[in-house]
Amino acid sequence: MTEMTERLKPLGEMFGLPQDFNEDTKDKVTELKISHLKDYHKGNLGENRYSKQDLEDLVESVKINGIIQPLVVRPLEENDEYEIILGHHRRDAALLAGLNTVPCLINDDLDDDTAELLFMDSNLQHGFEKMKQSEKAELIYRRNEVLKRQGRRTDLNPDDLTKSVDEEFNLSRSSIQRYLRIYQLTDKLKEALDNGKIGVKVAVDLSFISTIYQDLIADYIKENDVKIDKKMSEKIKTVSERQHLNDKTLFEILNGKISEEVKVKPKKTSIKVSKKVLNKYFKPEQKQDEIDKIIEEALEMYYQN
């Protein structure tokens, strides 16, 4: 994770954000009332990545040393209110330490995309590996969307990346693609993934089926306290792709009543003979069985030649 942190540092520098609270930074920092600070509008990813002990240690540090690294905020339209881009946990620790104000670097020039990238890079730098699988998926999806809006190509177009995916996330390209699929899951199935009831590869399989059946599976898992394995998820995905997934087949798979080879009836192919051909080769009074016999004999002669 240290290597990834070093690679991400230039982003803050790119937007004029100092990395350390030193003499050069002091003149740019303002003490703001904690009551005037609002959480980032898209929520705080990885809220559980800090343990209770981590928070207690941070509170003790704040009591002794104060806030060493200033928060990064941007002004809101409301008077004297600011949105926290970086520093939610420092704010929380300051509150628990009994402080009324915290040092903040106010940046008036942060547009939504830039703020989003900074917010997500902070999450990448601090405890990405501690995040839930669904939180990792959301982080990667959101970052992917920002880069697309900015005209940068993402891992889905690997030939012209500004940075390779492993540099961006310290993950392989296939892992990135899996997380982008996981983002498509319903909240119920994401919860099952986070609770270990389904694995990442199983989650990817289930992301291809409709949200209705995703929730049915999640309910089944919760009610029966069971896990879904890879063979099961592959069967469900296969049946869904063949457009044969319904309540009955789904629960047969979940209860192990469908054999190893997923048995589904092939779709019937209907062949229509145009009116022009019928009028040319058949008489109006000819019956269907007679027409079928003629066509069959003609096809036999055709394939014999």
With cut-offs at 50, 70 and 90, classify the pLDDT of residue 270.
low
Which pTM value belongs to this model? 0.63
Helix-helix angle 88-96:52-65, to 10 degrees: 70
* 181 or 15: which leads in pLDDT: 181
Measured from the Cβ of residue 105, the count of other Cβ atoms closer than 10 Å reads: 21
Q: What is the pLDDT of residue 218?
A: 96
Query: 150: how many CB neighbours lie within 10 A of its CB?
Result: 11
Q: Provide the percentage of residues in the chain whose pLDDT is more than 70.
A: 75
Q: Is the pLDDT of residue 207 over 90?
A: yes
Rounded distance between C-alpha atoms, residue 130 and residue 160, angstroms: 31
Tokens (6 digits) for 237: 């995905």
Task: Kindly report which listed range (14-28, 128-142, 228-242) carries the lowest average pLDDT score.
Answer: 14-28
| Choice among 132-141, 167-176, 225-234, 268-277 with the minimum mean pLDDT | 268-277
3 state SS of 296: helix
Give one DSSP letter per residue of 131-179, joined into a string: S-HHHHHHHHHHHHHHHHHTT---TTSGGG-SS-HHHHHSS-HHHHHHH
Q: Is 204's pLDDT higher than 90? A: yes
* Residue among 118, 175, 108 at smallest CA distance from 146: 118
The per-residue pLDDT for range 32-66, each reduced to its tens digit, is: 999 999 998 876 665 555 677 788 888 999 999 99
Strands 101-106 and 29-33: antiparallel
Average the pLDDT over 128-141 and give the result. 86
Topology (CATH level 3) of domain 2-120: 3.90.1530
C-alpha to C-alpha distance for 242 and 227, rounded to whole angstroms:
24
Q: What angle do CA 217, 222, 224 make, to 5 degrees?
A: 95
141-146-150 Cα angle (round to 5): 145
Cβ count within 10 A of residue 256: 9
Which has more confidence, 122 or 153? 122
Per-residue confidence at 133, pLDDT binned at 50, 70, 90? very high
Angle subtended at Cα 55 by Cα 50 and Cα 57, rounded to the nearest 5 degrees: 125
Q: Is the pLDDT of residue 186 over 50?
A: yes
Strands ordered across the beta sheet of 101-106: 29-33, 101-106, 71-75, 82-86, 37-38
Is the predicted pLDDT of residue 137 greater than 60, yes or no? yes
CA distances in angstroms from 264 to 229, 243, 267, listed in the order given: 21, 10, 9
Q: pLDDT per residue over 222-266, tens digit each?
A: 999 999 999 999 999 999 998 889 999 999 999 887 654 455 555
Asked if the model's pLDDT at residue 158 lies above 50, the reply is no
Distance CA 37, CA 96 (A): 15
pLDDT of residue 303: 67
Amino acid identity of 16? G
pLDDT for 144 beyond 50: yes
**Which has more confidence, 103 or 88?**
103
The pLDDT of residue 304: 63
**What are the residue ranges of CATH 3.90.1530.10 in the chain?**
2-120
> Would the pLDDT of 205 be above 80?
yes
Q: Which pLDDT band holds residue 160 (cuts at 50, 70, 90)?
A: very low
State how far the Cα of 87 lies from the Cα of 17, in Å rounded to an integer: 13
Q: What is the pLDDT of residue 7?
A: 37
pLDDT at res. 113: 86
Q: Which residue has the higher pLDDT, 23 or 149?
A: 149
